[in-house]
A and B are shown apart, each in its own frame.
Chain A
């Protein structure tokens, strides 16, 4: 019963947050900030702990797995484009994935983040369901990773267009891949404002980023964490 109620309430809050964001396109109104904030308010009023809430919302969290499977459909639909630009996609997304892990690691060390915060932040540039899996495999905390992925999405939606402007990127393929690589689904959302080609390549970039970061993350993250510990001794 509780599970059903929590699912309905979360859905209503999510719809409301989406509606408010469509009315005012302010970054702070992003549904991924607004909806959790409202839910935290609600559960603290009715005295439900966050852990209980997460347990009761398991149906919704479960849907992340089939949603990941569903990404096969856009890849299949765009298979000709993927094949045509495969070298560009692989080169740019591999560069992006490696830079994402390394830059996050170096910056995290620079601000002295705790060990589990570091492992949780490294897979942040990829789409949540897969970032959570990387985080689990490498000893991060799934909840923290989710929060970092969300922050990346919101921030990426703001800085993405700036980067494209600063570097005067003209190619729609490059714009799309950068947005999908840097800010996963939120980047793809932004890419839709540029055009259809940008949006398509953004979703291609997002999927490849997930796969490549997954492969490199599983190998690199334990290595980085190990080296970090050696040097701190």
Chain B
């Protein structure tokens, strides 16, 4: 029963994906159909055109199993010999350094903004 509900809701979410595909056709911007679909679903929820319960379970499943959906692409790594050599290790270091800087900047900015907010209140 629960599985059936999830399948139905996932299919229903496809309606918004299709709407997104339609919008991408009309609006000539380099924005993927799925992003348009996200916007359409969000607006539909805000305007009470659809109820949260109609998509909640299906959306939760899609997001919980997100890892599964990009495993096939990850297998494609075997087509790139570079990744398994020294270059691959250098790339790993690049990603680690960049991620540290990004997280540090984001955290510091957010903390500063929140602190200022508290002081001004």
Query: Which A residues lie at the B interface, using CB under 8 A?
Result: 10-11, 13-14, 18, 31-32, 35-36, 39-40, 43, 50-51, 53-54, 57-58, 60-61, 63-77, 79, 85, 87-89, 91-93, 95-96, 99-100, 103-104, 107-108, 111, 113-114, 117, 121, 124-125, 127-130, 132-133, 137, 142-144, 146-152, 155-156, 159-160, 162-164, 166-167, 169-171, 173-175, 177-179, 181-183, 185, 205, 211, 214, 218
Q: Are A75's CB and B42's CB within 8 A?
A: yes
Q: Are B74's CB and A67's CB within 8 A?
A: no
Given contacts A10-B68, A69-B38, A72-B45, contact A124 B73 (CB under 8 A): no
Interface residues of B, dominant DSSP = helix
**Total CB contacts across the A-B interface at under 8 A:** 289
Q: Are A159's CB and B114's CB within 8 A?
A: no
Q: Given the complex of chains A and B, what is the CA–CA distance between A155 and B93 in angstroms?
A: 9
A140 to chain B, nearest CB (A): 13
Given contacts A10-B68, A51-B79, A151-B91, contact A129 B34 (CB under 8 A): yes
Q: Given the complex of chains A and B, what is the CA–CA distance between A113 and B65 in angstroms?
A: 32
Q: Which residue of the partner chain A has the closest CB to B77?
A: A147
B103: CB under 8 A from chain A? yes
Q: Are B76's CB and A50's CB within 8 A?
A: yes
Q: Given the complex of chains A and B, what is the CA–CA distance between A164 and B100 in angstroms?
A: 10
Looking at B16, B62, B100, B102, which has the most chain A CB atoms within 10 Å of its CB?
B102
Q: Are B70's CB and A61's CB within 8 A?
A: yes
Q: Are B45's CB and A218's CB within 8 A?
A: no
Query: Which B residues lie at the A interface, using CB under 8 A?
Result: 10, 13-14, 16-17, 20, 30-35, 37-39, 41-42, 45-46, 52, 55-56, 58-60, 62-63, 65-80, 82-83, 87, 90-92, 94-111, 113-115, 117
Looking at B30, B41, B67, B103, which has the most chain A CB atoms within 10 Å of its CB?
B103
Q: Are A143's CB and B107's CB within 8 A?
A: no
Q: Are B113's CB and A87's CB within 8 A?
A: yes
A10 to chain B, nearest CB (A): 6
Beyond A69-B41, A70-B60, A162-B100, 11 extra complex contacts between A and B, CB < 8 Å? A14-B67, A32-B67, A35-B74, A61-B69, A69-B17, A133-B34, A133-B35, A143-B73, A163-B100, A163-B103, A174-B111
Q: Which residue of the partner chain B has the closest CB to A32?
A: B67
21 inter-chain pairs at a CB distance below 8 angstroms, sorted by A residue, are: A51-B76, A66-B13, A68-B34, A73-B52, A88-B113, A88-B114, A96-B103, A104-B94, A124-B95, A128-B73, A129-B32, A146-B73, A147-B80, A149-B70, A155-B95, A159-B103, A171-B110, A177-B106, A178-B104, A178-B107, A183-B99
